[in-house]
Structure 1
Amino acid sequence: MKASMATPHIILYVWLVLFTLPLLTTSVKSSTYIIHMDKSTMPKTFTSHTHWYSTTLKSLSPSTTTTPQLLYAYDNAIHGFSAVLSSAQLEALKQSPGFISAYPDMNVKVDTTHTTDFLSLNSNYGLWPASNYGKDIIVGVIDSGVWPESESFKDYGMTEIPTRWKGECEPGVQFESSMCNRKLIGARFFNKGVIAGHPGTNLTMNSTRDTLGHGTHTSSTIGGNYVKGASFFGYAEGIARGVAPSARLAMYKVLWDEGRYASDVLAGIDQAMEDGVDVISISMGFDEVPLYEDPIAIASFAAMEKGVFLSSSAGNQGPDMGSLHNGIPWVLTVGASSVDRAFAGTVTLGNGVAVVGWSLYPAKALLLDLPLVYNETLKACDLTLMELHAKEMIVVCEDVGVRDLVVQMFQVTQSKISGAIFISKDSFVIEEGDFRCPGAIINPKDAMPLITYVKTALNPKASIKFQQTILGTKPAPAIASYTSRGPSPSYPGILKPDLVAPGTRVLAAWAPKVPAAKLRSTSLSSDFNIISGTSMACPHAAGVAALLKGVHPDWSPAAIRSAMMTTTSELDNTLGPIQDVGYNFQSATPLAMGAGHVDPNKALDPGLIYDAGAQDYVRLLCAANYTDKQILAITRSYGYNCSNPSSDMNYPSFITNSTVQQFQRTVTNVGDGAASYRARLTAMNFNVSVAPDTLIFREKLEKQSFKVSITKTQEGQEGVLYGSLTWVDDVGKHAVRSPIVVV
């Protein structure tokens, strides 16, 4: 079994380039302006948009005291830049070729740790107010425990605990029952399996207290209360809050320092159902086991029968295909994506040129005007060679195929060098690996000004400033390279993952006794941590499910899953297809992102749902030729039968490995009343037909059925072929989209 968590990681995003230009000649007041430019008019003589913008500023009339300063060069959010200018310089700039518009910079108040903003959850409209922020929905978290003193678990603003709650707060080592409250309403621990697996062992923390940090992070992501001033050593500053901040949380500790056993996992899920949870979040899974031997598959079938929604993580074994776990037909399987936020270290060269690189160095440090060293000997950052040079310097490390970035960073960490600038596009380090040394990472395509300067200056110097957070980066979301991919090894006939949610660089509560970072060799503690993994994506989806459960308490788990899947987005914030980091930023396939990126507000009103019940899943198992005993292991009941087996169940996605395949589906109208929907198919490399292609509903909750027929157009076609079917209503309010995959 693997807990789907990754340690603090390095993500490389170089979004912005800054310049400080020579002094000009007027003594007038200056201000910061945002300037929009027509990039299509950029003369071909310029090597980049940054070069064009900086040259444009240099062409302005000189003055005596005002220094035009290029702050940021934009190429995604807008085409243009921001700069410090005098009013006269601004007027002159307006006459420059390509100028579109300019306006003064404005103050912005950052008031969140951002993933809820990225999901468009808003206090004024949509799913948050409709669900009353998940009020009284109870989420059971199967994980490593909880740090009850965290501000995220304070119960201010919470009402009395629902009377239907049957759970308890179990005392243990360094954990009193009084530590639970109206937010953290339950805490239990399950250790019999780990004790049996390690006879005579003494558990280091025999209670629900978290010794890994993982459970504290996931549970606060789901439903943590509001915490002002949260950050990770100055990064991601703002108000921390969970996706469903008014939901109740109950922790079931099944992961231990001494081991992680299926028996304990089963016990935790079993108790959660007994206690009366509405949603279960479980960020772990079992690899290469059939459904009838998978504790999560088995326990979640019972949860589904009771109407309990279960969100699970896909795993962190990407980007290989067929690597996911929890490919269970009756649960939600969640992959991981990025958000539009980057963490920065600004490198300012001695000539005034500044480059914003990626950094999570956990210290309030400023490396100021230190010698900058880059040569053939040192550019691989060999520890022995670095020790021969002066310690008070910043060394430039380049990916030269000799040492990868992880090794280079380790070498710098072990040395006494003041800091480093790493030139690399290492796809692994973009998302994973801790950041212990003072430095910043720059993509090779943005490194030319740095290399030119350090090679030509007589006495090259540089400064690095840390603890900077940049919002609105593009493109986002992108599919994380580490997130595990389908097809599902346990049941390839159902497309998995179902969808993706924020999983890369998520800030949430942490156990302060567990090191959150290292400063070279010194361990650092924090009340919040930024980590990555499908473990972080799963609780985001669980939080959305809790909100939907609050609005639609009568919906089945399948209905909630359908609403979340059919309203996802397949576009990023550039309005282009979501890209896959693990495949060189090509367009992501449904085997990586499922239906797409979760959109909570659209899921509130999906229009149509694909519903299913326990017997539908049993028909699936029967068609898979499971024996009676194997089916019974999952269903725990002889009340189901195999009289009508079918591998085609009412799922909101389609996948086949056959040349010809026909699917039968039934949708339920959950809109306001009568409606008409027409089928819309995307362009595909295979033939698809839908019959009928129009569905007419006379009233709410009416059901209509249709068939989808798929035929491969050419024998021997390789790769993943995919497209989608979208049912669009006649007023354009609802678009109910399902991915179609041929493997």
Structure 2
Amino acid sequence: MKKKWRMSTILLLGIFALSGITLPALAWDPNSDEEVKDNAKGEYYFVELKDESVATYDGGVKGYKATQVAEGDQLDVKDSNVKAYEKYLSSKRGQYKSWLKKKALQAKVVEDYALTLNGVAVKANGINPAVLKQGPDVKRVVKSIQYRPAMNASHSIINDKPLWTMGYKGSGVKVAVIDGGIDQDHPFFKDPSLKVPEGFPKVPAGKDEWKSYTSNKVIVARVFSPETSATPKAIGSHGTHVAGTIAGKSGYKDPSGVAKSRLSGVAPKAYLGNYNVFPCDSCSAETIYIAAAVEAAVKDGMDVANMSLGAPAEPGFDLLTEIVNDAADAGMTMVVSAGNNGPGPMTVGSPGTADKAITVAAVANGHFIGQSIQINQDGKDKALSAAGASPGGKVNAETKGSLVKVEDGDKKACSGIAGDLTGKIAVIKRGDCTFTIKTSNAQDKGAVGVIITNNVPGDPATMTVEEKVKIPAVMVSQADGDWLGQGKSVSASMLPNALLDIKSDAAKTLTYFSSRGPTVHYTLKPDVAAVGENVYSSVVGGGLSSLSGTSMAAPHVAGAAALLKEARPDWKPEDIKAALIGTGGNIKGGDTKPLEVGGGIINVFKALYTPAMASPASLSFGLVDKEKTLNFTLKNVTKQEQTYQIRVDKNLAKLSSSSLQLAKGKKGTVKVTISPVGKKAGEDLQGYIKVQTEDGRDQIRIPFHYRVK
């Protein structure tokens, strides 16, 4: 079942909840401003069987040894015990399939799972899902839901370059991109120095022709879709853009000449795996197929997985978050975008709610690709920096005209425009409808161009506008938009082929669209933040483009995880997560809050030399109506004995100890107690426990949160 959604390339759905009432959040794409409603028909179901999956089986079945690895170790799918238990699970699933053929002939099994969860995916074909529960050894039946994609100067913000200088560029590390495919022929992925690792490339059995979708960089080509004609080929550009941020080659020169400095992915020597779950332009994907992609990535031995996708998060059992957690238990570091439904609380989507994932919020970049437009207001000239549009709305020819501020629809022009705009450039406020609708309405009234004025502080954003829009369209900042039209006589001029690499003062500010916590389970998310606005990276066909969204923030963290995995090969997924959370930095221009950015903006160099690791790396007390205590364990990961000073705001929490003396490699435990007494009902209390070395030179932070019931 494939649903078409217009231009939904950066969409991630979320949930807004307040005071115990859960309401669906508006789902939208920061690049197109499109809202999309979920119209899933519920035709697919996941049937989980009672036996534990390979990743979680700790023994108990006669004749089969435990396959669960030690905490954080990576699952070896070639291990004889793993193979034996997999065969046992296969026989159990076979019994269920045989029953299904007898009792529900119309229903069809479309996927099998063993490593991350044990069960099958079923296309119901009209069968009542209650029937599916009646088969042998069924634990539960879960409805599949639809997920969608969540969509150079950023290196200085996440501080990864020092690792390159030290020789760490992700060499040998394999990163799964569970997304919309990777254009393996893009020059950003052409690195002759790489050798295909042993056992690769990997394609499905009987699909040797799909090796044409691989290279010495993109070493896996798989597709997960109900469409039998689907291939791993990248149709939309979302996955290719994500992949470029993770591991685009170092020193790549922008062929357009717009970016003055050379480009690089965060981990330029890492390998990429194409796990295509969106094998069409602007489509959604069922849970069961994304789950199959995660399962395949674990089986292929990928070290890191990036999931820039999402769907509404709801209380109760969540199939995909369970699979993400199990994949982390199997040793694969899971990086997930938080969602684009901010700035309201409780808008983090699934699978970003998964406890063991690294869930990523978005901050602004240090630049944007734009152009200068000339404004003459009452005889005085002023140049404004503007972001452009694509694939429609480009400035293809010099465009001049007097400016007209559109007054229709609260100045947003979503329901049409009454007045004649012939020969004019329309000034329209952002919000309430897509950029395509606004620009089309202006075009229909004879406008020769459109200037969209941003509705939030910060830089203007590159816009996705459909190709039916033939007139040029640009966006200016909110401040410039407020200034526009204050004079009695105002005109503008736009010049073609005048793209510029424009520096920004907005770097490290929290983006308005980034989803906030807590989750619908009242747990603390997101975990960290990275650059997710105006990110310049590869797109299908060989070009480069700017996109915005937490989709663009997550691959910065996936690349960082690859660097840390190369530099610290003994680190497990929870170690990488703890190091990134603990050493995160503050956002710019406001209070740094755990519910907005978790531990803060990642700092890869500091993470490499973290003075300690906390387990858990953050504390979620949940919804509380009485005193509650949680523990965290602190590990000394330095090369010498340390005495750590531990501090917290006493109005928010109390500690069992204000210091810990730990020898190299040793651990100690601290109790943290919170109390809602005297606090306002419904209030979110949050802060950081600060752990500092005795000399005061190094520090980590442990974010915590609780909501008063």
Q: How does 1:175-194 map to 2 (within 5 A)?
A: 176-191=210-225, 194=226
Distance 1:174 1:372, change over 3 A: farther
Correspondence for 1:510 = 539
Q: 1:495 aligns to what SS in structure 2?
A: coil
Distance 1:322 1:8, change over 3 A: closer
Residue pair 1:315, 1:483 contacting (<8 A) in 2 also: yes
* Residue 723 in structure 1 maps to residue 687 in structure 2: yes
Residue pair 1:222, 1:540 contacting (<8 A) in 2 also: yes
Task: Tell me the CA shift for residue 403 of structure 1.
Answer: 9.4
Q: 1:132 aligns to what SS in structure 2?
A: coil
Correspondence for 1:607 = 611
Q: Output one character per residue of 1:411-443: Cα deviation in whole Å (capped at 9) or x when no partner.
A: 224444222344553679965853565244445
Q: How does 1:551-562 map to 2 (within 5 A)?
A: 551-562=567-578
* Residue 245 in structure 1 maps to residue 268 in structure 2: yes
* Residue 270 in structure 1 maps to residue 288 in structure 2: no
Residue pair 2:516, 2:525 contacting (<8 A) in 1 also: yes
* Residue 307 in structure 1 maps to residue 335 in structure 2: no
Distance 1:445 1:187, change over 3 A: closer
Residue pair 1:723, 1:741 contacting (<8 A) in 2 also: yes
Q: How does 1:44-443 map to 2 (within 5 A)?
A: 113-122=152-161, 126-130=162-166, 132-158=168-194, 160-163=195-198, 165=199, 167-169=201-203, 176-191=210-225, 194-195=226-227, 203=229, 206-226=230-250, 228-230=252-254, 236=259, 238-257=261-280, 260-288=285-313, 292-295=317-320, 297-324=321-348, 325-326=350-351, 327-342=353-368, 343-349=370-376, 351-362=379-390, 363=394, 365=396, 367=398, 370-373=401-404, 388=420, 390-391=422-423, 393-397=424-428, 408-423=438-453, 425=455, 434-435=464-465, 437-442=471-476
Distance 1:313 1:403, change over 3 A: closer
Q: How does 1:6-45 map to 2 (within 5 A)?
A: 6=11, 9=31
Distance of 2:548 and 2:407 partners within structure 1? 35
Residue pair 1:499, 1:594 contacting (<8 A) in 2 also: yes
Task: Tell me the CA shift for residue 570 of structure 1.
Answer: 1.9
Task: Tell me the CA shift for residue 558 of structure 1.
Answer: 0.7
Residue pair 1:166, 1:275 contacting (<8 A) in 2 also: no
Task: Tell me the CA shift for residue 291 of structure 1.
Answer: 7.0
Distance of 1:188 and 1:727 partners within structure 2? 44
Distance of 2:180 and 2:209 partners within structure 1? 14
Residue pair 2:245, 2:556 contacting (<8 A) in 1 also: yes
Distance of 2:265 and 2:253 partners within structure 1? 15
Q: Output one character per residue of 1:218-248: Cα deviation in whole Å (capped at 9) or x when no partner.
A: 12221121363437x7765543321100001
Correspondence for 1:664 = 631
Distance 1:266 1:371, change over 3 A: closer
Q: 1:728 aligns to what SS in structure 2?
A: strand
Q: 2:546 aligns to what SS in structure 1?
A: strand
User: Quick one: which amino acid aligns to residue 511 of structure 2?
Assistant: A
Q: 1:243 aligns to what SS in structure 2?
A: coil
Q: Which runs of 5+ in 2 are unaligned?
A: 12-28, 34-151
Task: Tell me the CA shift for residue 304 of structure 1.
Answer: 2.4
Distance of 1:475 and 1:429 partners within structure 2? 7
Q: 2:169 aligns to what SS in structure 1?
A: helix
The count of corresponding residues between Structure 1 and Structure 2 is 550
Correspondence for 1:499 = 528
Out of 477, 480, 483, the residue aligned to residue 514 of structure 2 is 483
Distance 1:182 1:677, change over 3 A: same
Distance 1:725 1:390, change over 3 A: same
Distance 1:413 1:240, change over 3 A: farther
Correspondence for 1:5 = 10
Out of 681, 684, 700, the residue aligned to residue 648 of structure 2 is 681
Distance of 2:175 and 2:263 partners within structure 1? 18
User: Quick one: which amino acid aligns to residue 668 of structure 2?
Assistant: Q
Residue pair 1:128, 1:134 contacting (<8 A) in 2 also: no
* Residue 695 in structure 1 maps to residue 660 in structure 2: yes
Task: Tell me the CA shift for residue 560 of structure 1.
Answer: 0.7
Residue pair 1:10, 1:360 contacting (<8 A) in 2 also: no
User: Quick one: which amino acid aligns to residue 657 of structure 1?
Assistant: L
* Residue 570 in structure 1 maps to residue 586 in structure 2: yes
User: Quick one: which amino acid aligns to residue 553 of structure 2?
Assistant: A
Out of 529, 547, 553, the residue aligned to residue 537 of structure 1 is 553
Task: Tell me the CA shift for residue 670 of structure 1.
Answer: 0.7
Correspondence for 1:23 = none
Residue pair 2:457, 2:477 contacting (<8 A) in 1 also: no
Distance 1:565 1:471, change over 3 A: farther
Residue pair 1:568, 1:599 contacting (<8 A) in 2 also: yes
Distance of 2:439 and 2:592 partners within structure 1? 30
Task: Tell me the CA shift for residue 144 of structure 1.
Answer: 1.9
Distance of 1:703 and 1:230 partners within structure 2? 48
Task: Tell me the CA shift for residue 564 of structure 1.
Answer: 0.4
Task: Tell me the CA shift for residue 143 of structure 1.
Answer: 1.7
Distance of 1:553 and 1:291 partners within structure 2? 35
Correspondence for 1:732 = 696
Q: 2:687 aligns to what SS in structure 1?
A: strand
Q: Which runs of 5+ in 1 are unaligned?
A: 12-112, 196-201, 513-525, 578-586, 612-649
Distance of 1:146 and 1:440 partners within structure 2? 29
Correspondence for 1:96 = none
Bigger mean CA offset, 345-354 vs 327-336: 345-354
Residue pair 1:130, 1:551 contacting (<8 A) in 2 also: no
Distance of 1:345 and 1:172 partners within structure 2? 53
Residue pair 2:174, 2:270 contacting (<8 A) in 1 also: yes
Out of 448, 451, 455, the residue aligned to residue 485 of structure 2 is 451
Distance of 1:187 and 1:402 partners within structure 2? 39
Task: Tell me the CA shift for residue 115 of structure 1.
Answer: 2.1
Distance of 1:431 and 1:368 partners within structure 2? 21
Task: Tell me the CA shift for residue 726 of structure 1.
Answer: 0.7
Q: 2:252 aligns to what SS in structure 1?
A: strand
Distance of 2:628 and 2:515 partners within structure 1? 26
Distance of 1:214 and 1:368 partners within structure 2? 31
Distance of 2:257 and 2:599 partners within structure 1? 35
Task: Tell me the CA shift for residue 344 of structure 1.
Answer: 4.2
Q: Give the TM-score normalised by structure 2.
A: 0.69
Task: Tell me the CA shift for residue 694 of structure 1.
Answer: 0.9
Distance of 1:291 and 1:221 partners within structure 2? 34
Distance 1:214 1:421, change over 3 A: closer
Correspondence for 1:647 = none
Task: Tell me the CA shift for residue 557 of structure 1.
Answer: 0.8
Distance of 1:734 and 1:146 partners within structure 2? 40
Distance of 2:448 and 2:576 partners within structure 1? 53
User: Quick one: which amino acid aligns to residue 593 of structure 1?
Assistant: V
Correspondence for 1:87 = none
Q: Give the TM-score normalised by structure 1.
A: 0.66
Task: Tell me the CA shift for residue 729 of structure 1.
Answer: 0.6
* RMSD, matched Cα: 3.6
